[in-house]
Structure 1
Amino acid sequence: MTTAVPLMARIGIDVGGTFTDLVAAVPERGLVVHHKEPSTPADPSRAVADGLAAILAQAGLRPEEIGGITHGTTIGLNAIIQRRGARIALVVTEGYRDILEIGRSRMPSSFDLYAGKEEPLVPRDRIVEISARLGPGGVPVAEPDAPELDRVAARLRAIGADAAAVLVLHGYTDPDFEEGVAAGLRARLPELPLMASATVWPEVREYERALVACLNAYIQPLMRDYFGRLESRVRALGVPAPIFISASNGGSMSLRSAAERPIETVLSGPAAGVAAAARLGMGAIVTFDMGGTSSDIAVTVNGSPELATHTTVGGLPLIVPVVAVSAIGAGGGSVVRVDDQGVLKVGPESVGAEPGPVAYGRGGDRPAVTDCYLATGLIDPATFLGGRMRLDADAAGKSLADLATRLGSAGDGAAEEAAHRVASGALRVATAGMATELQKIMAQRGLDPRLFTLVPFGGAGPTHAAMLAEEVGITHIVVPPTAATFCALGAAGADLRRDFARSLRRRLDPTSAARLADILGELSGQARAWLTEQSAAAAGSSLSYSADMRYSGQAYELRVALDPGRFEVAAISEAFHAEHERLYGFRDQHAPIELGTARLGVVGPVAELPSAAVRPGTGRPTPHGRRQVLLDGAWHAADVHLRTTLGVGDAFDGPAIVEQDDTTVVVPPGWSGDVDGAGNLHLHRKA
């Protein structure tokens, strides 16, 4: 394998709807620097370039001292949600033209007879049938000849698609067959990006596999164009370092891999933050990433992020592995409004970066959660973003007072008091929505939130964390030093990682066990070749093996970890029985076991990032000041501490506010705070 670029400074970038976050980590100097740059939605690469130039100056780095840049982006995700991707076509086995229309033949809602179906990603007139088919065992049933390939190519040319995908029935059993069909079409249409579904993700279930391939084709032209602009802007700054893209599984991949398989990056931003939180070593944690547009919640039980193999993006099922993150439409930019029934609501609509909350003074006239923080005294208009962006508290208060008029409560007091009531109520509404989502996640896993530690990050996460913790019964909160740019920090330290899969769909016996071992061996070879393509050194890389299994007749499968080199029937059976017993309390030694999908994960670790240097504290820090804050309907005089002045061992009681240049930590009455040796701020609910 090739030698990795020597690690000097590593830059992590996370592009959000409101701000673009950057972190520069320099292990040789023990230095961690962070920066927030207002996002530029029309061309996100411009904010990346501006922020990169700013953080280089801030950290005192020359462009050639950067060893690697890892960038997380939601461009692909937003394109899917907003249906703004490329004009694509789909080539399918003859007789399966309606595969996207039929889907799983399920109603969108069992309780709403008028609920509309999600529009198919590819209209029926852009779906072309081809005489190519495999049997369930992988034996070809129909193979396209040259005239058939000519006919399909001519039809694709007439459609005028920007990209296309190929799906052959049972293509997962022999990905080379489906790839051969795609290669035949590429030879006739060299200008058309065209990818086989089994090459993207060779897992059983034709509908879901078709969607993975189509989604990949749907965002590929857009992502390639963006990656090209990104690389040009970075190189224009004189930075020669390789560029990596954060992946949805919490790892990263090279720019070239991301351009070929952009579907693996659509949930990259939230995943990077969860991976970084897991590295804090706090055990069982709940991560709470609250940005400008949404809040992302994830649960980590055993010290590593939980991966989901099935999720939903823009109403469409996605079966590639992603860090299990649940998002709700409540962020700092979420709109506070009164609905037609006179009820106070928060989100899911966001004011975004432009014009932003009313307090930004950029022409926004709809109050947002950030305006509520301002009206309740939780954030200081003069110290927002370290004083680089002064907020207009009067405008925020007036917009909230206008909402009070719509609620019919303006007459109960002065306009300022009415604005305070609306702001406090809106924060309670937002908290209730977050708590409901978190409690649902925990209940589905049989977990008690009171046994978990809350790790908040994002610009608004530390501000709202204690409110959420109070609502769900969590008594311990850990706020990292770079909480507001934590996803960018996670990107900077993200290991190279990719997941591979191949479905078997066979009953477990000596023959299928041998086949499982062969497939895992093939996937191991693909994984090592992939690491080589990423310019990653072999030293320290690791492989993990697992398989989806079930008792015969069960509707769902369990993912079961397998010991390397132990792929005989007895070892595989015992691994499945033990996992089934752990989850459901029983095992059935006599029931046949079915193998579903073989899975392999490969990790190429990067060097550890340095921890921020934290000086010893005095034990009882002197407050920087005091101000009135409105918490849970009552005003309190809160001590104000600066995060930069807090040292190791410092402790204080709430009510208190801890200000740093990119976020604000709220410590309510009944809570205490202290700083550990790594600079993490621990908040504890008093008994």
Structure 2
Amino acid sequence: MSAPSVRLGVDIGGTFTDVVLEIDDKSFSTKVLTTYAAPENAIIDGMHTVCAQADIAPSRIDQIIHGTTLATNALIERRGAKTALITTRGFRDVIEMRTESRFEQYDLNLNLPDPLLPRQMRFTVAGRVDAHGEVLVDIDRAEVEAVVDQIGKAGFESVAVGLIHSYLNPTHERLVRDVLAEKLPHVAVSISSEVSPQMREYERFNTVVANAYIKPLMASYLGRLEDRLKGEGVSCRIFLMHSGGGIISIQNAADFPVRLVESGPAGGAVFAAHIAARYGLEKVLSFDMGGTTAKICLIKNQTPKTSRVFEVARTYRFKKGSGMPISIPVIDMVEIGAGGGSLAHVDGLRQIRVGPESAGSEPGPACYGREGTRPAVTDADLVLGKLDPENFAGGSIKLHPEASKSALNHHVGETLDMDATEAAFGVAEVVDENMANAARVHAVENGEDLSEYTMIAFGGAAPLHAGRLAEKLGVERLLVPPGAGVGSAIGFLRAPFSFEANRSVYMKLSDFDPERIKTLLAELQAEATGFVRTCDEKSPILSEFKVYMRYTGQGWEIPISLSEAQAMAPDARVFEARFIEDYTKLFSRPVAGMDIEITVWSVNATTPPQPVARTPELGGTDRAAPTGTRRVFDAASAGFLDADIVNRFDMQAGVHAVGPAAIVEDETTIIVPASRNAIRQPDGCIDVITKGSAQ
């Protein structure tokens, strides 16, 4: 009989590092504070904790899947490598000019964010490729060598290469890379035709610059992590979660670290999709709230919505358009600065504001007793009775209510003439309304009605706020799965090995070329499959085909999924019918008499998803036995109510708790509002539903 498989999932967040160990159908988990200076330290500490829980040696681990915010944080905090950009003459300022759109149209004092690289770090070379991939002006190798010599003398650690229309013809970019490899072999190099071979030079240049900027940092970190794990006797392969919801090898992650920018949130969306499949839910709102941010994602037909472009490091209250666009495959979600560590203050208009600044883990909220003096959302939750100061994080962190009250009084209450409870209520309502508003806008942008959705909540802070968020959004059903506090790390262990290859090749349906399309899609399929084979040499690989289409003259495209048969036997009439079908769903009607064009072609290679067993749903009448009561603030009632305290792991399948209640466990607490009841389902999910509604 073979030994059981042992897998470790690790998610480094802005506040906590979550570690989950799975041995067949058993799991063990822990949360440890993130160690910013050396993130691998928290991983090693967490690994030893879960291995001790499972009574195994770390050397027994067969596979590690890791997601991290390190890439994101490096971009936000501008602490990457000293990086140069080599681009086409005349296009030196593309990443500074942006698209010239104003993300806040009526703000007369609007400040656009600075580009990642200042002008003196951007170099140009002659040579020009046109929009059809034809060479108009040959590149001069001697000129390239002279530019590379300048870069070498200036001591750059990494170089990004982004030339005009290189997504159609990468010859010039490859020549620049060859010269860099010959003359500066110690310098990291990223070329846009490999990192993001897509049209729109601003997004493409920004993406390759971001990749080059964080490449040495991530390579160093991944190397240190491998060495530390080997020193602990762990010799298994390490894989990384990428932003598109799949897993790639550590070498691919080191080459394309920009694909890790949303790896943690992507794991959470995969986790929510897995729960949706267990319950056969077609429409799910994934709500992930950790210590630093909250993430909201729409999941339809058990598949998270994806996109080709997203923004990181938004500088204007998380306003869309104020960040750095990254053009890579990514799970489409809205992210706001609303986590447990998000700091509260009163602005010049005497309004309570929460986030995006976070206390993180160092020093943390005031209640942590680690010299933090400013109030965070966690401080408000503590004052409102949502948290037990003696049993936070399983008792590993003692909370200090008086420190929370003092911080809330000083930074909010004194300015607005409120006591600590009123200030805490204000902070909690502001953060909940911020999240509700973000969810409403995201739903409207996608043509969805959230009242038809089921919410799945996870992350250390989400179960504390999900009940109130569901009230605000009119969502009747909320599921809090087991392991919710470490949901993203569990999601890593559910994700397939996958890689999406895409390329911009412009084509109108009136100029439809079936043979060219077959060749293009076959090349993309081979490229994506090759990446997956570096992770998994045995499993079958599925291919998912997608094209991005629009009416001629429109500014942006919509994704159109194709079956393999439709992709491998291209027919203009089928492409047109699929586009009109999806366009009508989004915008209610097609546009008659206009030609249709395709701008981007995409193939995602993926191993098959794990089989999911449906959960039989229960609705029993037995009531859970409380271990006590405590006063918990109910926002809808605007006052404290006596809430039953129920241990989650004492609840049997079919047993219910009547709101208001606090269902407690080591990693989080589920607050059941007075308007709701909670039922424990056979798979361990806590099913929170509106009183009087049919399950």
Report TM bin, short chain.
over 0.9
2:304 match: secondary structure:
coil
User: Offset at 1:454?
Assistant: 1.1
- Superposed displacement of residue 341, structure 1: 4.2
What aligned pairs does 1:569-588 form with structure 2 within 5 A after superposition? 569-588=572-591
Is this contact kept in 2: 1:26–1:609, CA < 8 A? Answer: no
Once residues 99 and 394 of structure 1 are traced to their aligned partners in structure 2, the CA distance between those partners, rounded to angstroms, is 52
Indicate whether 1:34 and 2:33 are aligned.
no
CA distance in 2, matches of 1:385, 1:363: 19
Q: Distance in 2 between matches of 1:228 and 1:236?
A: 12
Question: Which residue of 239, 244, 247 maps to 1:249?
Answer: 244
Tell me the CA shift for residue 274 of structure 1. 0.8
Match of 2:319 in 1: none
Q: Is contact 1:624-1:641 (8 Å) kept? A: yes
Deviation at 1:615, TM superposition (A): 13
Which residue identity does 2:119 align to in structure 1?
R
**Structure 1 residue 6: Cα displacement:** 9.7
Deviation at 1:162, TM superposition (A): 0.9
User: Who is 2:148 aligned against?
Assistant: 153
Highest relative contact order (Cα 8 Å, sep 6+), 1 or 2? Answer: 1
Matching residue of 2:632: 629
- Match for residue 351 of structure 2 among 339, 343, 347: 343
Q: Find 2:225's aligned residue among 220, 225, 230.
A: 230
Distance 1:407 1:94, change over 3 A: closer
Give distance in 2, aligned partners of 1:639 and 1:538: 51
Equivalent in the alignment of 1:490: 491
What is the alpha-carbon distance in structure 2 between the residues aligned to residue 272 and residue 264 of structure 1? Answer: 13
Describe the shift of the 1:234–1:608 C-alpha distance in structure 2 as closer, same or farther (beyond 3 A). Answer: farther
Check 1:518–1:619 CA distance in 2 against 1; reply closer, same or farther (3 A cut): same
Cross-structure match for 1:425: 426
Is the partner of 2:354 in helix, strand or coil? strand
Unaligned runs of 5+ in 1: 411-417
User: Residue in 2 aligned with 1:377?
Assistant: 385
Deviation digits for residues 427-454 of structure 1 (CA, Å, limit 9, x no counterpart): 1121111111111111212221111111
Aligned pairs for 1:647-662 (under 5 A) are 647-662=652-667
Verify: 1:675 aligned to 2:680, yes or no: yes
Residues 274 and 405 of structure 1: is their aligned pair in 2 closer, same or farther, counting only changes over 3 Å?
A: closer
- Tell me the equivalent position of 1:301: 300
- Residue 599, structure 1, aligned to residue 598, structure 2: no
Structure-2 residue corresponding to 1:553: 553
The residue aligned with 2:119 is: 124
State the partner residue of 1:97: 92
Aligned pair in 2 of structure 1 residues 553, 409: CA closer, same or farther (>3 Å)?
closer
What SS class does the counterpart of residue 236 from structure 2 fall into? coil
Please tell me whether residue 639 in structure 1 is matched to residue 644 in structure 2: yes
Contact 2:345 2:412 in 1 (8 A): no
Mean CA deviation greater in 217-226 or 286-295: 286-295
Whether the 8 Å CA contact 2:664–2:670 is kept in 1: the answer is yes
> Does residue 569 of structure 2 align to residue 566 of structure 1?
yes
Structure 2: gaps spanning 5 or more residues: 314-322
TM-score by length of 1: 0.93
Q: Out of 390, 398, 422, which is 2:398 matched to? A: 390
Question: Following TM superposition, by how much is the alpha carbon of 1:497 offset from its aligned partner in structure 2, in angstroms?
Answer: 1.6
Deviation at 1:635, TM superposition (A): 1.8
Distance 1:573 1:68 in 2: 44
Q: Report the CA distance between 1:343 and its aligned residue.
A: 3.1
Residue 608 of structure 1 and its aligned partner are, at CA, apart by 6.0
Matched, 1:358 2:366: yes
Structure 1 residues 611 and 263: CA distance shift in structure 2, 3 A: farther
Mean Cα displacement is larger for which, 217-226 or 336-345?
336-345
Rounded Cα–Cα distance in structure 1 between residues aligned with 2:204 and 2:73? 21
Q: Deviations over 1:612-640 (max 9, x none)?
A: 9x999993221111112121221211111
Query: RMSD between aligned alpha carbons?
Result: 2.4
For the pair 1:18 / 2:23, whether they are aligned, the reply is no
| 614-623 vs 591-600, greater mean Cα deviation | 614-623
Residue in structure 2 matched with residue 506 of structure 1 by the alignment: 507
SS at match of 2:194: helix
| Pair 649,207 (structure 1): closer, same or farther in 2 beyond 3 Å | same
Whether 1:76 aligns to 2:71 is: yes
Report the Cα offset of residue 589 of structure 1.
6.4
Deviation at 1:107, TM superposition (A): 3.7
Q: Name the CA distance, whole Å, in 2 between partners of 1:582 and 1:302.
A: 16
SS of 1:595's equivalent in the other structure is strand
2:604 alignment partner, SS class? strand
Deviation at 1:225, TM superposition (A): 0.9
Taking the TM superposition and a 5 Å limit, the aligned residue runs for 1:138-149 are 138-149=133-144
Q: Secondary structure at the match of 2:311?
A: strand
- Given the two structures, how large is their TM-score scaled by the length of structure 2? 0.92
Q: Using the alignment, how far apart are the partners of 1:560 and 1:573 within structure 2?
A: 10
How much does 1:38 deviate? 1.3
1:343–1:407 Cα contact (<8 Å) kept: no
Matches within 5 A, 1:162-561: 162-280=157-275, 281=277, 282-314=281-313, 315-403=323-411, 405-407=413-415, 409=417, 418-509=419-510, 512-534=513-535, 536-561=536-561
Amino acid at match of 1:561: S
Distance 1:47 1:567, change over 3 A: same
Amino acid at match of 1:686: K
Measured in 2, the distance between the counterparts of 1:399 and 1:593 equals 58
1:246 & 1:608 partners in 2: Cα distance? 20
Q: What code does the residue aligned with 1:18 have?
A: T
Could you tell me how far apart the structure 1 residues matched to 2:292 and 2:448 are? 28
Q: Deviations over 1:454-507 (max 9, x none)?
A: 111111100111111111111110000100000110112221121111111122
The answer on whether the counterparts of 1:14 and 1:269 sit within 8 Å (CA) in structure 2 is yes
Separation in 2, partners of 1:353, 1:572: 50
For residues 323-370 of structure 1, give each alpha carbon's deviation from its aligned partner in whole angstroms, at most 9, with x where no partner exists: 112111121112232334443332222211122122211122222211
Select between 492-501 and 254-263 the one with higher mean Cα deviation.
492-501
The secondary structure found in structure 2 opposite 1:264 is helix
Deviation at 1:586, TM superposition (A): 3.0
Shift of 1:651: 1.4
1:87-119 deviations in Å (ceiling 9; x for gaps): 111111222222223222334532123312221
Q: Judge conservation of contact 2:47–2:58 (CA < 8 Å) in 1.
A: no
1:582 alignment partner AA:
K
Structure-2 separation of matches of 1:311 and 1:93: 25
SS in 1 for 2:456: strand
- Mapped contact 1:455–1:477 kept (Cα < 8 A): yes
Distance between the aligned counterparts of 1:340 and 1:125, measured in 2? 37
One-letter identity of the residue aligned with 2:293? S
Contact 1:516 1:598 in 2 (8 A): no
> Residues 60-96 of structure 1: CA distance to partner in whole angstroms, max 9, x if unpaired?
2222321211111111111111111111111112222
CA distance in 2, matches of 1:453, 1:493: 21
Measure the CA separation in 2 of the matches of 1:623 and 1:204: 59
The residue type paired with residue 331 of structure 1 is G
Is the contact made by 2:676 and 2:691 (CA closer than 8 Å) also made in structure 1?
Answer: yes
SS at match of 2:62: strand
Percent of pairs identical after alignment? 33
Corresponding residue of 1:113? 108
